A and B are shown apart, each in its own frame.
Chain A
Amino acid sequence: MNDSEILVMGAVAYDPKVVTIWEGFKAYFYQNGLNFDYVLYSNYERQVEDHLAGRFHVAWNSPLAWIRAERLAGSTGQKVEAVVMRDTDCDLTSLIVVKSDSGIGDVSDLKGKTVAVGAIDSPQATLIPLSYLRSHGLIPGVDFEVQYYDLLGGKHGDHIGGEREAARALIAGRADAACMIDGNHLLFLSEGTFKPQTTRVLAQTETFDHCNFTVTESAPQRLVERFRQLLLEMSYDDAAVRPLLDLEGLKEWRTGRTESYRALETAVDEFGFYDNDGNITASNYRY
């Protein structure tokens, strides 16, 4: 097989199931006439750098990785495109949760308090909610203390562990508030991390989007088109692909969109996470 006929994707191994997922997709693509392979990275930063360096064609990017890819591309006159995303990547919100009996009734009441967040690079559990608080007049680290649960750096918060630790810190009284994605609030309730009626949602951010498949201009267009087409054709009705969709957490693929990454871009700039050229400028970021 000629390498130029193979579409190669990069993905981050944030969990062992990632291998199962992409092996399944590889088989699906192969059965449908698209030669496909994947490489796994331990962190999004190296993945984005290698992607822009042309070492593979498509990146399964976190929203933060998308922003870095866009900036890195822009710095060298290239462009990137978000081709496909999951239905479950669209219109997410983050929550700031407090204990019901905390007496915290308004965001401004968090002044002087401790707010537990997820990994330093988590869009949903750290960057976006902290930016939200800033937009409401509270400067992180100045007006309130930020307590990081910085698990698995470089994975951009894909791993739920940081959010769960932040939630536990709230319950244990180590923090006055905890940040998390909306769906995890219900999950923490159903799994018992939060007991019913003991927590209250203090604030909810505007909607934002999550992951996407990113391609560079140099990616082989014919293969990318076939890739896009095969993803969009995957149907939850089809028993052969349904387990893959379940594993990856979606019901259908949608055409990529980028307008809902603005809140995260704002956060990235506010916290100096990347500069405009996509260089990492966050000082305490380990991955």
Chain B
Amino acid sequence: MTMTEISQPQIIDIKDLSFEQGAHLLIKKHLSELPVGGKLGISGHARELAIHLRGWCRTQGHEILFGTNGLDSVNLNQTTNSPFVAWIVRGKASTGRWKDAERAGAPDFREPNAIAERPPSKWGLAARGAKIEAGAPEFYFGLDSKTDVWAENVPRLYAQAAAAQWNPNTAIDWETPFELPVEIETAVVQVMTYLIENETAALLVPARFLAQIHPHFREVMQLLAIQVADEARHIEVFTRRATFRGHELGLSTVGGQTSLKTLFEEPDFTLSSFLLSVLGEGTFLNLLWFLEEHAPDPITRRGAQLAAQDEARHVAFGMGHLQYQISLDPTVRERLAAAVRRRFDALSQTTGLNEEVFDSLVILAAKEWTPEAISEGFGKVQKLKNEMHQSRTARLQKLGFSAKEAENLSSLHTKNFM
């Protein structure tokens, strides 16, 4: 392609490039360099160039002038080798479309004004930092303010999460040989059954909020998506372990599901983050560490270890989000405390952790049926419960609750752990 600018107007020679091969791209590029009303001459020798040029100009709102008027100001021999086809007069539609378009922040959250406090609903699904045509349709995102969802550690956590994804097939050596007495295996299966149920809640709760978050808060959306994927993997691993020896799955109790239902139905993102990520998954961390240390077989230990790594990130996001909220509005703490009390009241008529799960934890920690081993296992589970309480209390204090308040709120947490 050659182009010569003797003066206005310009002529481009697109040679044998046809519209079915992308001729419009070259023409568009050169038109964009002209003011509205500017003339661009087209030379070329593709067979149907004149026909397609006419149709294309019509749809784009450009005027097309056939004939050689104006060519006398241009020495064709010096400009093109192909026959002259037509003049295009640039229409105003191509610029009109972008009038009042606005830039939706910036892709890098560290840039000034990268993230809007309350992005407009009409920014919709556009990439953060994109230039958005005016008049875009409005989307409804219930969580559309930075205060609602943001945490300063989100970008870092997302990067960590993306880097730490693991493949259940290869991260766990499913071939490692082990033998367990049937009662111990049954206890493992019961704990796995309980974990699957709880991880299902931990998958669905963020998934429900995910679609409500304005995509402008990209890193939060991404982090929650990975959180959901994490839980999907946990469910896979625990299901594979539960069925590893061909046993039927264990029991699911009314008390356990009632406790999870209060999490599942919490409509407020912040309160849900608090109850699920900080208190629930925080407590689960202790449980997973317990299993990593005391489970009777290598597959369960490794599965618990991998799941705990992921859960630690989920807890960190919950903590980061709440710290961000509290830094903007310290009264959020009162709402958090009220949420714990409300959940406690709602669950006051239930029994908490089912007996089968508690017993199973004792058995798998005991590893054998002797009075000494059972006593030791029982002690370990009591210690676990104490550690769970201590961890919760520490996190609550980190959120600014006094030692006494933290102690009190931790003791009101569901006996079902999650």
Contacts and interface: CB of A to CB of B under 8 A. Distances in A.
Contacts of A183: 55, 58-59
Contacts of A201: 47-48, 51
B93 interface: yes
Contacts of A197: 20
Contacts of A204: 51
A235 B18 CA distance: 31
A239 B122 CA distance: 12
B254 interface: no
A72 B134 CA distance: 45
A190 interface: yes
A186 B61 contact: no
Interface residues of B, number: 25
A104 B93 CA distance: 40
Nearest to B55: A183
Contacts of A235: 96
Contacts of B21: 196
Contact of A240 (B56, B92, B133, B135): B135
Given A185-B52, A237-B99, A239-B134, A251 B20 contact: no
Size bin of chain A's contact surface: 20 to 34
Interface string B175-193: 0000000000000000000
A242 B135 contact: yes
A186 B56 contact: yes
Contact of B20 (A189, A237, A240, A242): A189
A87 B135 contact: no
Residue from A182, A185, A204 with most neighbouring chain B CB atoms (10 Å): A182
Interface in A58-117: 87-88, 91-93, 95
A190 to B, nearest CB: 7
Nearest to A250: B61
Contacts of A182: 51-52, 54-55
B51 A251 contact: no
Contacts of B97: 236, 242
Contacts of A185: 48, 51-52, 55
Given A185-B55, A252-B61, A200 B20 contact: no
A252 B59 CA distance: 11
B19 interface: yes
B91 interface: yes
Interface string A125-148: 000000000000000000000000
Contacts of B19: 186, 189
A33 interface: no
A209 to B, nearest CB: 12
A237 B99 CA distance: 6
Nearest to B137: A243
B100 interface: yes
Interface string A187-211: 0011000001100110010000000
Contacts of B52: 182, 185-186
A236 B134 CA distance: 11
A204 B50 CA distance: 11
Nearest to B122: A239
Q: Which of the listed residues B47, B51, B58, B97 has the most CB atoms from chain A within 10 Å of its own CB?
A: B58
B103 to A, nearest CB: 16
Given A186-B52, A251-B91, A251-B93, A236 B20 contact: no
A196 B92 contact: no
B92 A237 contact: yes
Given A185-B48, A236-B92, A242-B97, A93 B54 contact: yes
Contacts of A196: 18, 20-21
A190 B52 CA distance: 12
A143 B96 CA distance: 50
| Most chain A beta carbons < 10 A, residue from B18, B96, B133 | B96
Contacts of B54: 91, 93, 182
Interface string A220-242: 00000000000000011101101
A152 B136 CA distance: 34
Interface in B7-60: 18-21, 47-48, 51-52, 54-56, 58-60
B93 A186 contact: no
B49 to A, nearest CB: 11
A87 B100 CA distance: 24
Nearest to A204: B51
Nearest to A194: B20
Contacts of B20: 186, 189-190, 196-197
A141 to B, nearest CB: 27
Nearest to A181: B55
Interface string B333-364: 00000000000000000000000000000000
Contacts of B58: 87-88, 91-92, 183
B96 A236 contact: yes
Contact of B135 (A88, A190, A239, A249): A239
A186 B52 CA distance: 6
B51 A95 contact: yes
Given A186-B19, A239-B133, A239-B134, A87 B51 contact: no
Contacts of A242: 96-97, 135
Interface centre among A91, A92, A243 (most CB of B within 10 A): A91
Interface of B: 18-21, 47-48, 51-52, 54-56, 58-61, 91-93, 96-97, 99-100, 133-135
Interface of A: 87-88, 91-93, 95, 182-183, 185-186, 189-190, 196-197, 200-201, 204, 235-237, 239-240, 242-243, 249, 251-252
Given A186-B52, A189-B20, 20 more contacts: A88-B58, A92-B58, A95-B51, A182-B51, A182-B54, A183-B55, A183-B58, A196-B18, A200-B47, A200-B48, A201-B47, A236-B61, A236-B92, A236-B93, A236-B96, A237-B96, A239-B134, A242-B97, A243-B135, A249-B59
24 contacts: A88-B58, A91-B54, A93-B54, A182-B55, A183-B59, A190-B20, A196-B18, A200-B47, A201-B51, A204-B51, A236-B61, A236-B92, A237-B92, A237-B96, A239-B99, A242-B96, A242-B97, A242-B135, A243-B135, A249-B59, A251-B93, A251-B96, A252-B61, A252-B93
The 9 A-B residue pairs with the shortest CB-CB distance, nearest first, are A239-B135, A251-B61, A239-B134, A183-B55, A237-B96, A251-B93, A236-B96, A189-B20, A237-B99
